């Protein structure tokens, strides 16, 4: 058993390159323990310069393979990279970790590359809440590039992908793949499109489909480029990295980057407020005076909406009471 350790000690150990300590910090954030607040605040006070890149697409599109090829490109430029692989379908010790280790095999001995799978312990919403915090920790640790790999199906996953400074959407050759991406809401969040597995027939046609869709959509100043890649041999990875860099420069110069980052912080704050209130309301519902309210709902005496408003009012009153007491 690992002994409990002060998160601030772990933080300074991790900062000086101790990967084991870094791993434990991430686990604390995932678990959402009390310590995670300390870690968040330490990371927030130690801003780095990370470029946050999201890589998303359907399962099996080749995201992990492509990520490994992209990591190789960054290593050639002597940039340090952290990869956060998010796989809600496989809880801890599941296939995700093993699979990513295998595919990231080229980088296993590289101390400037850190790969970690984030698994959902609770609900998916919990993961959405912890990803920005883990990403910020990676930034505080001084990584030049942080890549978040996420499956682009479902609202929460798309939300996670949209957290990045630059979002790369991966599709495969084949009729309708671009249409599927569009349906999944990936079209709106893409800064760059990749047709991976372009060693297979139909890659150029798929690229053309995407261009046609882009022609029909309302674009702002940035038109997402479409790259063709072969993840397994790394073809096209250098061009993809060039486009990623171009997008970063564009976003930076146009002010979009800082606007996007501010919005992200605001949304994160809103989510935190909601979950904090939810937690307090929930513990309040164990309270005897509120319990009778629950019973009234069950008996049909009061409707759930009205009861909910009463519970929130009670939370507010309680908080006001505590605030006054502490003054």
Ligand X SMILES: Nc1nc2c(ncn2[C@@H]2O[C@H](COP(=O)(O)OP(=O)(O)O)[C@@H](O)[C@H]2O)c(=O)[nH]1
Q: Which residues bind Mg ion (CB under 5 A)?
A: 63-64
- Contact partner, 232, from ligand X, Mg ion, none, Cβ < 5-8 Å per class: ligand X
By CB under 6 A, residue 230 contacts ligand X: yes
Least distance (Å) from ligand X to the CB of residue 181? 13
Least distance (Å) from Mg ion to the CB of residue 149? 6
Number of CB atoms found within 10 A of residue 97's CB = 17
Least distance (Å) from ligand X to the CB of residue 180? 14
Report 85-114 residues binding ligand X (CB under 6 A).
103
Token digits of residue 117: 């799978």
Nearer to ligand X (CB atom), residue 64 or residue 117: 64
Least distance (Å) from ligand X to the CB of residue 213? 21
Nearer to ligand X (CB atom), residue 137 or residue 171: 171
Report 169-228 residues binding ligand X (CB under 6 A).
196-197, 199-200
Tokens 């492509």 -> residue: 66
Burial label for 13, CB within 10 Å (0-12, 13-18, 19+), is middle
Nearer to Mg ion (CB atom), residue 83 or residue 293: 83
By CB under 6 A, residue 234 contacts ligand X: no
- Contact partner, 62, from ligand X, Mg ion, none, Cβ < 5-8 Å per class: ligand X
Pairwise CA distance, residues 238 & 243, whole Å = 9
Token digits of residue 252: 């930076």
- Contact partner, 106, from Mg ion, ligand X, none, Cβ < 5-8 Å per class: none
By CB under 6 A, residue 117 contacts ligand X: no
Contact (CB, 8 A) for 67 and 96: no
φ, ψ of residue 245 to 5 degrees: the values are -65, -40
Determine how β-strand 166-171 pairs with β-strand 226-228: unpaired
Least distance (Å) from Mg ion to the CB of residue 24? 24
Pairwise CA distance, residues 192 & 313, whole Å = 46
Nearer to ligand X (CB atom), residue 62 or residue 132: 62
Coil, strand or helix at 169: strand
By CB under 6 A, residue 62 contacts ligand X: yes
Burial label for 142, CB within 10 Å (0-12, 13-18, 19+), is middle
- Contact partner, 21, from Mg ion, ligand X, none, Cβ < 5-8 Å per class: none
Nearer to ligand X (CB atom), residue 36 or residue 120: 120
Q: Whose CB is nearest to Mg ion?
A: 64
DSSP for 114-156, written as a single string: EEEEE--SS-HHHHHHHHHHHHHHHHHTT-SEEEEEEE--SHH
Nearer to Mg ion (CB atom), residue 58 or residue 244: 58
End-to-end CA distance of the chain: 42
Nearer to ligand X (CB atom), residue 63 or residue 136: 63
Residues at the interface with ligand X (CB under 6 A): 57, 59-65, 103, 196-197, 199-200, 230-232
């Amino acid at each position: 058993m690992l002994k409990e350790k002060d998160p601030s000690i772990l933080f300074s150990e991790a900062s000086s390159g101790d990967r084991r300590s870094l791993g434990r910090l991430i686990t604390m954030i995932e678990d959402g323990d009390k310590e995670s607040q300390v870690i968040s605040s330490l990371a927030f006070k130690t801003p780095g310069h990370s470029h946050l890149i999201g890589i998303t697409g359907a399962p099996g599109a080749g995201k992990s393979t492509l990520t490994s090829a992209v990591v190789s490109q960054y290593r050639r430029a002597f940039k340090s990279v952290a990869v956060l692989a998010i796989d809600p379908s496989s809880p801890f010790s599941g296939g995700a970790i093993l699979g990513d280790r295998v595919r990231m095999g080229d980088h296993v001995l590289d101390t400037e590359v850190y790969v970690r799978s984030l698994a959902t312990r609770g609900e998916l919403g919990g993961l959405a809440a912890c990803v920005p915090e883990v990403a910020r920790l990676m930034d505080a640790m001084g990584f030049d590039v942080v890549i978040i790999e996420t499956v682009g199906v479902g609202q929460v996953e798309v939300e996670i992908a949209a957290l990045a400074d630059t979002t790369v959407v991966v599709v495969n050759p084949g009729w309708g793949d671009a249409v599927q991406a569009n349906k999944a809401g990936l079209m709106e969040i893409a800064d760059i499109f990749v047709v991976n597995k372009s060693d297979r027939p139909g890659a150029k046609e798929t690229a053309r489909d995407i261009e046609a869709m882009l022609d029909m959509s309302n674009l702002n100043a940035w038109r997402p480029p479409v790259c063709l890649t072969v993840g397994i041999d790394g073809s096209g990875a250098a061009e993809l990295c060039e486009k990623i860099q171009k997008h970063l420069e564009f976003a930076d110069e146009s002010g979009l980057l800082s606007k996007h980052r501010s919005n992200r912080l605001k949304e994160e704050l809103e989510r935190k407020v909601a979950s904090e209130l939810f937690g307090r309301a929930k513990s309040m519902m164990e309270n005897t005076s509120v319990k009778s309210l629950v019973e009234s709902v069950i008996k049909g005496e009061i409707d759930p909406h009205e009861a909910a408003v009463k519970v929130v009012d009670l939370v507010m009153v309680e908080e006001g009471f505590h605030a006054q007491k502490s003054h």
